[in-house]
Chain A
Amino acid sequence: MEPRVELYREALVRLDRGERVALATVVSTSGSTPQKAGATLLVLHDGSMRGTIGGGCVEADAWAAARQMMRSGDSGLRTFTLADDPDEPGGDVCGGTMDVMFEVLFPDVPAGAGPA
């Protein structure tokens, strides 16, 4: 079973609990990137994460973007440029760009409103 469906199931569980979630999906990449199109990250209501879109700096930036969008309620695309920093041993040596789609999903029924 592909991991993405696990993330979707987790998202549905959280939505059923009345929590807001954000799905971040890599839609395209250019150059060298740690993950390719289709990689998915789920950011939960409490800020914890499931899955990965590459780790390191890009994931920290993606997490921050997801948190901001969960507050504003907007979905949309962000482009991340991966720093190619030769001075940082063991750091990101990718240097590519990733277009990531953020989808903020809202529960059907507000928390505390009882079963649908």
Chain B
Amino acid sequence: MSRLGVGLRRIVQLIEEGGPFVQGTVVASGAGAPLPVGYRVAWRPGHLIEGASGDGALDSALQASAATALAGEKPAESCLGSDGISVPMRRRSHGVDVAPRTLEVSWLPHVPEERLLIFGAGHVAVPLCAMAATVGYAVTVVDDRARFATSERFPLAREVIVRDFVDAIQTMAMTPWTSVVLVTRGHEHDETCLAHVVTSAVRYVGMIGSRRRVKVVHDRLVAAGVASDALDRVHAPIGLDLGGRSPAEIALAILAEIVLVRRGGTGAHLSRGSLRP
């Protein structure tokens, strides 16, 4: 660790590890502030801040700002007063100097790649894989039928796995940057997959099927001891109501729902019925 905190080499290493982590750089430092301009820190959830100043109040304020920036998943800034308390940002374009003993920190979050796991390699999975890959998801397709789970059918998939569903699902990391779509050929497979995923940390899990079939699965899992509120997270019947009918339209409705959950949208029309902003 140098005079300027965490070195660039360590930042590169943390990026290569895949995150999540956030890097912070002091971009302005008022007279008498404890850290110089260019000082760098890094924070991973569950760890102490790297490049800690040694001042407890400041370090916990840095850590809190880092956590907020990481949760926001986009670059952010914070302004910390001498006692570690957040103070309003100055308006730099107005030529105002940074206040004495005040630090301005710029945060750059690094979040893991968004992954989509599609269980079932049927007619909805094909367009879903192509669309999700285009939107930027690293897509994995799993099916136990070798003639369906092929890289010819899923040219944009990161990975196509021919394997028993339960065997496959047990080897996969279920993180907050993972979305899961259950579109297997039979509800018994959807149900066993769902039982493995539903209590995990995944961001999104959706299961295809009519309302009636979804209820059957729900009741069977509750009977098997799965908590009912865990099942409330499951998006089933899957997708937004776009009125679509073809497999590609259904895939679009599913992907739209995944994006909505990730980005926190409403799914409503942006327009108000006439050409008014």
Instruction: Tell me the A residues contacting B by CB distance below 8 Å.
Output: 2, 4-5, 8-9, 11-12, 15, 25-28, 30, 36-38, 75-77, 79, 81, 97, 99, 101, 103-105
Q: In the complex, how many angstroms separate the beta carbon of B274 from the nearest chain A beta carbon?
A: 25
Which of B10-18, B146-154, B169-177, B249-257 contacts the other chain? B10-18
Q: In the complex, how many angstroms separate the beta carbon of A73 from the nearest chain B beta carbon?
A: 11
Provide 12 A-B residue pairs closer than 8 Å at the C-beta atoms, listed in order of the A residue.
A5-B15, A8-B11, A9-B12, A12-B9, A25-B106, A26-B75, A30-B93, A37-B75, A37-B106, A75-B38, A99-B27, A103-B25
Q: In the complex, how many angstroms separate the beta carbon of A25 from the nearest chain B beta carbon?
A: 7
> Are A101 and B11 touching (Cβ within 8 A)?
no
Q: How far is the CA of A4 from the CA of B11 in the complex (A)?
A: 11
Instruction: Tell me the B residues contacting A by CB distance below 8 Å.
Output: 8-9, 11-12, 15-16, 25, 27-28, 37-38, 74-77, 92-93, 104, 106, 108, 110
Whether A81 touches B93, Cβ cut-off 8 Å, given contacts A5-B12, A8-B11, A105-B8, is yes
> Are B25 and A8 touching (Cβ within 8 A)?
no
Per CB-CB distance, the 10 closest pairs between chain A and chain B, nearest first, are A37-B75, A27-B106, A75-B38, A38-B75, A5-B15, A101-B27, A97-B93, A77-B27, A8-B12, A79-B92
> Are B12 and A77 touching (Cβ within 8 A)?
no
Q: What are the residues of chain A within 8 A of B75 when measuring CB–CB?
A: 26-28, 36-38
> Are A38 and B37 touching (Cβ within 8 A)?
no
Out of A11, A25, A99, A103, name the residue touching B108 (CB < 8 Å): A25
